[in-house]
């Protein structure tokens, strides 16, 4: 079901989100929506989709956000997301 809708319905265009037509998983990362991130891992959703607008996977996105958040309160949860997504099979775009 996820595959069927991920390119049209499961994208986000919120004005407070920095990726036009970005994956809802990236939006969950940006907003630190921990339960949703854990759910997509549990559901075994493909974590390696490359968004056409930014040419990045969710792992690329998490790493960039964590790097920008160095020393801030959001750095720790972002690094945690990186680790759990990586363990769940997420890859950087250059690894695909």
- Residue 79, classed as helix, strand or coil, is helix
Assign 4 to helix, strand or coil: helix
Burial 50-70 (b: 16+ CB within 10 A, else e): ebeebebbbbbbbbebbeeee
Over its length of 96 residues, how does the chain's per-residue pLDDT go in tens digits? 777 777 777 888 888 899 998 999 999 999 999 999 999 999 999 999 999 999 999 999 999 999 999 999 999 999 999 999 999 999 999 999
Q: In the chain, how many domains are there?
A: 1
Global pTM reads 0.91
Q: What are phi and psi of 12, to 5 degrees?
A: -125, 135
Cα 51 to chain centroid distance, Å, stands at 10
Q: Which of 55, 49, 59 has its CA nearest to residue 86?
A: 59
SS3 94: helix
Domain that residue 62 falls in: 2-95
């Amino acid at each position: 079901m996820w595959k069927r809708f991920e390119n049209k319905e499961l994208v986000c265009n919120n004005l407070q989100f920095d990726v036009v037509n970005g994956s809802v998983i990236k939006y969950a990362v940006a907003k630190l929506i921990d339960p949703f991130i854990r759910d997509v891992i549990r559901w075994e959703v493909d974590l390696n989709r490359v968004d056409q607008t930014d040419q990045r996977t969710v792992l690329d996105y998490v790493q960039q956000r964590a790097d920008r958040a160095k020393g801030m309160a959001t750095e720790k949860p972002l690094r945690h997301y990186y680790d759990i997504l990586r363990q769940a099979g997420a890859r950087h775009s250059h690894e695909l």
